[in-house]
Amino acid sequence: MSTKLIVGNWKLNGGLSANQALLDGLRDGLGAVRCRAAVCVPHPYLAQVQLLLAGSPIVLGAQDVSAHTAGAYTGEVSASMLRDFGVRYCIVGHSERRQYHGESDELVALKAKQALAHGITPIVCVGESLAQREAGQTEAVVKRQLAAVIHENGHCISEIVVAYEPIWAVGTGITASPEQAQQVHAVLRAQIKAATAHAERVAILYGGSMNAANASDLLAQPDVDGGLIGGAALKAADFLTILRAASR
């Protein structure tokens, strides 16, 4: 994957005026940025951000999607609804969804399937807890999580994006070292290669507290194809710094 992909995950943040200011700042500073870029925003702001991104190289993403197509599922948002707003990417299986909402590997796989069926690229998140890392279970955990998505989606697996987000590094300010990130990314790359003849299409992002200061070192690793950015995606200057690092 030669062209890096940087995705901002706004999480439970935003507001009409704050969104306008952030995206105006990004558009003004894009300049010679050559990587691919997206922002995954809360559902209520999809319409606003769709308009603000019009004519921009930054594309629109969502933070979650229902595993159901339609029906009596109050509060759920379907993939077809997201598609109506021009959503191109959707995060599935983020560690916060797994932890706080009890999402299983199987549910994540079904959400990825819904996204793919509607022309949306799922960003499938995998990652281990600190206890699992200390117990030497990192490889087994991330391979199990990804295997569920591969099993459910079969030949479509080359159309996904994978994000490795060690739970112990998400929102903590602690970051996996470039070597630690590369080690896990290499494991995921091998698993994808075993599942599809088109593994080169699959970007593997690092998603554990990548920021303006550490992005260059992480992105220099051979199997790190980009980043899933949390807090730094809410600051135009920091996000632009990461975009520029990914454009080298």
Residue 177 is given by DSSP the state -
Average pLDDT of 151-180?
91
Q: What is the pLDDT of residues 69-94, one digit of tens each?
A: 999 999 999 999 999 999 999 999 99
Using 50, 70 and 90 to split pLDDT, how confident is the model at 1?
low
User: Is 13 annotated to bind ligand?
Assistant: no
CATH superfamily entry for domain 5-246: Aldolase class I (3.20.20.70)
Using 50, 70 and 90 to split pLDDT, how confident is the model at 209?
confident
> Catalytic site residues?
94, 165
Residue 136 predicted with pLDDT over 70? yes
Q: Which residue has the tokens 């699992």?
A: 132
Measured distance CA(217)–CA(237) in Å, rounded = 18
User: Is 230 annotated to bind ligand?
Assistant: yes
Q: Which residues of 202-230 are buried (b: 16+ CB within 10 A; e: fewer)?
A: bbbbbbbbbbbebbebbbebebbbbbbbb
Measured distance CA(70)–CA(73) in Å, rounded = 8
pTM: 0.97
User: Is 168 annotated to bind ligand?
Assistant: no
User: Is 15 annotated to bind ligand?
Assistant: no
| pLDDT at residue 123, as a whole number | 98
